[in-house]
């Protein structure tokens, strides 16, 4: 998927597909590049997140920019906007959770960690990931924190799927999530805030890596990819 995304992105940036052009259909791209349609769909979602295309219901995917945005977009929010909000909400929420969590909060968080470690379905893991962050916010004892994270839940899910597809973030996220829960359980506000901050730093670094890498690693047009 990463190779296909890089190829499509290169074609847009070099003018093969100009702004306003409609990209070939999923079936055509699948045949041309020798990959499954699910791989094509993920690559097209990646182009949209990078701000290069827009999907129009019943009409296809159109090029809207010849240059990727500095910050990918997930739903209605840019990655930069999401990260700013998350740093101001999730970091202090984790700190409050360290001193305000209940036994039920810890039981729920521990159960989510175990389920995420064992989960094999990418889409379901993403839903658990969103639920994890909502649960940490709720454990702060301040319902406003939870409401804020619930409001951006869909965007966080799209971002999480994007990171998993292009930077294989699942395993690292599981480790980082466990460190957050351990810090909350310790009762240390500072440690809980540091653990959440480190997690968000890694998310930011992965996004920067993806944005720079997908163009630099663009393969030759004749390359075929395994499905």
User: For 202-223, how does the pLDDT look when each residue is reduced to its tens digit (9 = 90+)?
Assistant: 999 998 887 776 545 444 444 4
Confidence label for 227 from pLDDT (cuts 50, 70 and 90): very low
Tell me the percentage of the chain whose pLDDT exceeds 90: 53
Q: Give the pair of three-digit tokens for residue 23.
A: 């990209």
Mean pLDDT over residues 98-113, rounded? Answer: 97
At residue 146 the predicted structure's pLDDT band, cuts being 50, 70 and 90, is very high
Q: What's the pLDDT tens digit per position in 162-198?
A: 888 777 789 999 999 999 999 999 999 999 999 999 9
pLDDT digits (tens, 9 = 90+) for 73-96: 888 898 999 999 999 999 999 999
In the three-class reduction of DSSP (H, G, I as helix; E, B as strand; rest coil), residue 87 is classed as helix
Provide the pLDDT for residue 5: 83
In a 3-state reduction of DSSP, which class is residue 61? strand
Measure the CA–CA gap between 203 and 3, rounded to whole angstroms: 21
- Looking at residues 103-129, what average pLDDT do you find? 94
Query: What per-residue string of b and e applies to 32-69 under the rule 16 or more CB within 10 Å gives b?
Result: ebebeeebbebbbbbbbbbbbbeeeeeeebebeeeebe
State the average pLDDT for the chain.
Answer: 88
Question: For 143-164, what is the mean pLDDT?
Answer: 92
What pLDDT was estimated at residue 121? 87
Residues 6 or more apart in contact with residue 38 via CB below 8 angstroms? none
Strand partners, 56: 60
pTM: 0.77
What tokens appear for 150 in the block? 């619930």
Q: Which of 111, 126, 93, 109 shows the shortest CA–CA distance to 196?
A: 93
Instruction: Return the pLDDT at 168.
Output: 79
Percent of the chain with pLDDT over 70: 93
CA-CA-CA-CA dihedral for 105, 108, 114, 118, to nearest 10: -140
Question: Domains of the chain, with CATH numbers?
Answer: 2-69 (1.10.10.10), 75-209 (1.20.120.530)
Measured over the CA atoms of residue 162, residue 93, residue 196 and residue 119, the dihedral's sign is negative
Mean pLDDT for 110-139 is 95
The pLDDT of residue 116 is 96
Q: Do 51 and 207 contact (CB within 8 A), yes or no? A: no
């Amino acid at each position: 998927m990463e190779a296909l995304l890089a190829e499509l992105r290169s074609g847009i940036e070099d003018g093969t597909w100009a702004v306003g052009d409609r990209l070939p259909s999923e079936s055509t791209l699948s045949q041309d590049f020798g990959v499954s349609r699910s791989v094509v769909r993920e690559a097209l979602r990646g182009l949209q997140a990078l701000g290069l295309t827009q999907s129009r219901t019943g009409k296809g995917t159109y090029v809207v920019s010849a240059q990727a945005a500095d910050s990918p977009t997930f739903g209605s929010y840019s990655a930069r906007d999401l990260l700013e909000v998350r740093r101001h909400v999730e970091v202090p929420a984790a700190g409050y959770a360290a001193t305000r969590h209940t036994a039920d909060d810890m039981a729920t968080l521990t159960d989510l960690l175990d389920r995420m470690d064992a989960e094999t379905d990418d889409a379901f893991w993403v839903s658990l990931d969103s639920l994890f962050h909502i649960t940490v916010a709720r454990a702060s004892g301040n319902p406003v924190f939870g409401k804020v994270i619930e409001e951006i839940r869909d965007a966080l899910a799209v971002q999480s799927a994007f990171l998993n597809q292009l930077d294989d973030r699942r395993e690292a996220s599981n480790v980082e999530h466990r460190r957050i829960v351990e810090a909350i359980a310790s009762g240390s506000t500072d440690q809980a805030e540091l653990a959440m901050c480190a997690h968000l730093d890694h998310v930011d670094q992965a996004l920067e890596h993806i944005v720079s890498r997908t163009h630099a690693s663009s393969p030759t047009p004749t390359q075929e990819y395994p499905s």
